[in-house]
Amino acid sequence: GQPVPPSEPTDPESPPPAEPTSPPPPPPSGVFELGGQTHTLANPGLMASTGMTWVKFQHKWAPGQDPSIVASRINQAHSAGFRVLLSIPGNLYPTSIDFGAYVDFLGGVAALGPDAIEVWNELNLDREWPPGTIDPASYVNNMLRPAYNRIKSVNPNVLVVGGALAPTGVHNGFSVWSDDRYVQGMGAAGAASYMDCMGVHHNAGATSPSAFSGHPADDGAGHYSWYFWPTYNVYANAMPGEPLCYTELGYLSPDGHGGLPPNFWWGGNTSVSEHAQWLGEAISLLRGTGRVRMAIVFNVDFTFWGPTDPQAGYAILRPDGSCPACGALAGAMQ
């Protein structure tokens, strides 16, 4: 069985602007930092209690947008004491991408003082990139390199994160590329020169991070994308000199929600206590590698549970208001 990647969440309206404040000072090199993805930053105290110092927001760019549309997000994060990662892809199922307009937008965003920008998202799928043009060399040459150069010319302090791929073994070269082939192609195209870290997603696990077998959807082939270490190794080996930034790390548990959508059936037996334990274990393991710059928990407090998308099942804030993973994360960060 091959993983079907979870669909990406979309953010509701941005909150009103907060007064701009200085972000926390940047850490020394070699430091591992923890963050969480949220739509609203409604639970900053809960986030801080886990050791999180970053917040990730996703913003869907469209041509014609003014960069000031994300200013309130940046200011809100900084005023709450967090560094902010903005993941900026486009609208879903694009038929074309205006690379110049996108790079201009990122340059404008960089001037607003975010701490990190992730350049697009899951670019190996036709959900996020025009079918027939999915190609790592195109991403590097048309988007990543010009975006990196523009961002750094405007604000050299902004971390540039290579767009994380959707974990999948499916590959037809047209509407989907397997992420191992794609990231190897990025490396061959020189991507490491145009990023501060490579984005990674791991969101289809249903075993302990230390396991190499036993995933409910594993047909015996042991595909890396179902498992923590095999996924890590794909990215660490494809980008040997590059730090990794896990921009989505999450474990799905239906506890408190009900039946899972069909594409996510493999998460059906994951209890919320396993979700909590595995998140803590994963963070401990990533900290120990010395290769990972940050990890963003997917997610903090999403409430959406739809017929094809169980986002709320990944949330550390559970429907009953508890956060079993909070203690596990805090322990991993001590």
List, for residues 142-160, the tens digit of each pLDDT value.
Answer: 999 999 999 999 999 999 9
What confidence score (pLDDT) does residue 1 get? 57
The yes-or-no verdict on residue 5 having pLDDT over 80 is no
| CB 312, CB 303: distance < 8 Å | yes
**Residue ranges per structural domain of the chain:** 33-332
Collect contacts of 79-82 with beta carbons under 8 A, ≥24 apart.
Answer: 79/18, 79/19, 79/20, 79/21, 80/41, 80/44, 80/55, 81/24, 81/44, 81/48, 81/53, 82/23, 82/24, 82/35, 82/41, 82/44, 82/47, 82/52, 82/53, 82/54, 82/55
Q: Does residue 179 surpass a pLDDT of 80?
A: yes
pLDDT at 2 over 60: no
Rounded Cα gap, residues 55 and 294, in angstroms:
11
Confidence of residue 3 (pLDDT cuts 50, 70, 90): low
Does the pLDDT at position 28 exceed 50?
A: no
Residue 37's nearest CA partner among 257, 319, 332, 315 is 315
Asked whether residue 23 carries a pLDDT value surpassing 50, the answer given is no
User: Between these two residues, 27 and 240, which has the higher pLDDT value?
Assistant: 240
Q: For position 102, what pLDDT does the model report?
A: 99
The 3-state DSSP class for residue 192 equals: helix
Where residue 185 falls among pLDDT bands split at 50, 70, 90? Answer: very high
Contacts of 132 (CB under 8 A, 6+ apart): 174, 175
Q: How many CA atoms lie within 13 A of 126 on its CB side?
A: 11
Could you read off the pLDDT of 259-283 as tens digits, one per residue?
999 999 999 999 999 999 999 999 9
Residue 31: pLDDT band (50, 70, 90) is confident
- Which pLDDT belongs to residue 258? 87
| Domain covering 33-332 in this structure, CATH number | 3.20.20.80
pLDDT of 30: 67
In angstroms, what is the C-alpha Rg of the chain? 18
Q: State mean pLDDT over 301-318.
A: 96
pLDDT digits (tens, 9 = 90+) for 43-102: 999 999 999 999 999 999 999 999 999 999 999 999 999 999 999 999 999 999 999 999
> In which band, very low, low, confident or very high, does the pLDDT at 221 lie, cut at 50, 70 and 90?
very high
First-to-final CA distance of the chain = 37
Percent over 70 (pLDDT), the chain = 91
Q: Which residues contact 39 (CB under 8 A, 6 or more apart)?
A: 9, 11, 12, 57, 301, 302
Q: Could you give phi then psi for residue 203, rounded to 5 degrees?
A: -140, 15
* Residue whose tokens read 């992420």: 179
Say what the pLDDT of residue 12 is.
36
